[in-house]
Amino acid sequence: MKKNIAIVAGGDSSEVGVSLKSAEGLYFYMDKNRYNVWIVTLVGKNWQVQCLDGEKREIDKNDFSFTQQEKKIKFDFAYITIHGTPGENGLLQGYFNLIGLPFSCCDVLPAALTFNKFYCNRFLKNFDILVAESLLFRKGALISIEEITQKIGYPCFVKPNASGSSFGITKVKSENQIQLALDIAFTEGDEVMVEKFIEGTEVTCGIYKTKQKTVVLPITEVVPKNDFFDYNAKYNGQVQEITPARIQQQTAEQIQQLTTKIYDILNCKGIVRMDYIISNEGAIYLLEVNTTPGMTETSFIPQQVKAAGLSMTDVLTEIIENELNNQ
């Protein structure tokens, strides 16, 4: 009998549109001969499932089920592809744990930690992971521009501490640009991180693990046409993405080993993507850990899976079956 799979998308952040595109990608890749697949959207308190007849039906939040033709349908597995709250920060994972529904990505603690860029970087520094110097500021608190100038310097990045898809991020080149950049970042959340700019080559590496194996995907080099890898570069084609990356084999192996190490330190699960900067001096700096990476047609993971000679359908099946068989 086919298992019922929910692709859970939407969310309550600026990334809702990206999430819905990822859901469409996942739906395309999933094995319909093996699973019954639905897209479930969560936007605020409005939880709905898109049914095959074109109708949208309400999700019963008591057990994450819905009723179709007077028949109650319960899901066997949730594939979370919400980029932002509540699917990337641990809230949804906690709910699924409470109702006993297996899901695709990291559990509550690693999800919450990786969603908070500043605290995640501080945590990983204890394991000798290189990260850029940064400062954290909260909305309403006194912000010292002088402290930013002295400790971080210019250029630097001003970004929401808990956000993705480059929403609210500004590359600041001088002190007189800081205040506007802070104002922009605070529109996306109550915490803002100011991070030192590192000149170098940006790359990204995907990974997933099951009980049987570890798969570290080929590395992608990111060459934005703009000043940095912003939203237009990510989703509107203003970037050159080269897989495998044009870096030395030794450096590629170091990044793949580092990706595995961080995955294990954080106790990650499912497909995770990690972004890095290789400085001009050759040092490898972690930028960010993405526990619910994008799955749109322009996203890195499908590119890397293809470059590895793998099938996205097979990869998703492995991840789903790994969780279902561990129940």
Query: Residue 52: what pLDDT?
Result: 72
Position 188 scores a pLDDT of 85
CB-side exposure of 133: number of CA atoms within 13 Å?
A: 11
Tokens 């803002």 belong to which residue?
Answer: 192
> HEC string of the chain?
CCEEEEEEEECCCCCHHHHHHHHHHHHHHCCCCCEEEEEEEEECCEEEEECCCCCEEECECCCCEEEECCEEEECCEEEECCCCCCCCCCHHHHHHHHHCCCECCCCHHHHHHHHCHHHHHHHHHCCCCCECCEEEEECCCCCCHHHHHHHCCCCEEEEECCCCCCCCCEEECCHHHHHHHHHHHHCCCCEEEEEECCCEEEEEEEEEECCCCEEECCCEEEEECCCCCCHHHHHCCCEEEECCCCCCHHHHHHHHHHHHHHHHHCCCCCCEEEEEEEECCCCEEEEEEECCCCCCCCCHHHHHHHHCCCCHHHHHHHHHHHHHCCC
Residues of the chain with CATH 3.40.50.20: 3-103
Tokens of 110: 């690693």
Domain with CATH 3.30.1490.20 in the chain: 134-196
Half-sphere exposure at residue 144, Cβ-oriented, CA atoms within 13 angstroms: 9
Rounded (10°) angle between helices 312-324 and 300-307: 100
pLDDT attached to residue 233: 45
Amino acid (one-letter) located at 225: K
Instruction: Compute the distance between CA of residue 207 and CA of residue 305 in angstroms, rounded to an integer.
Output: 10
pLDDT averaged per 10 residues in sequence order, the chain, 327 residues: 96 87 96 97 95 86 93 96 93 98 97 95 97 95 92 95 74 94 91 95 97 96 70 57 96 98 98 98 96 90 96 97 88
Q: Does domain 112-130+198-324 have CATH number 3.90.1150.10?
A: no
The class of domain 134-196 in CATH terms is alpha beta
- pLDDT recorded at residue 226: 63
Question: What's the CATH number for 3-103?
Answer: 3.40.50.20
Instruction: Supply the pLDDT for residue 230.
Output: 46
pLDDT number for residue 238? 62
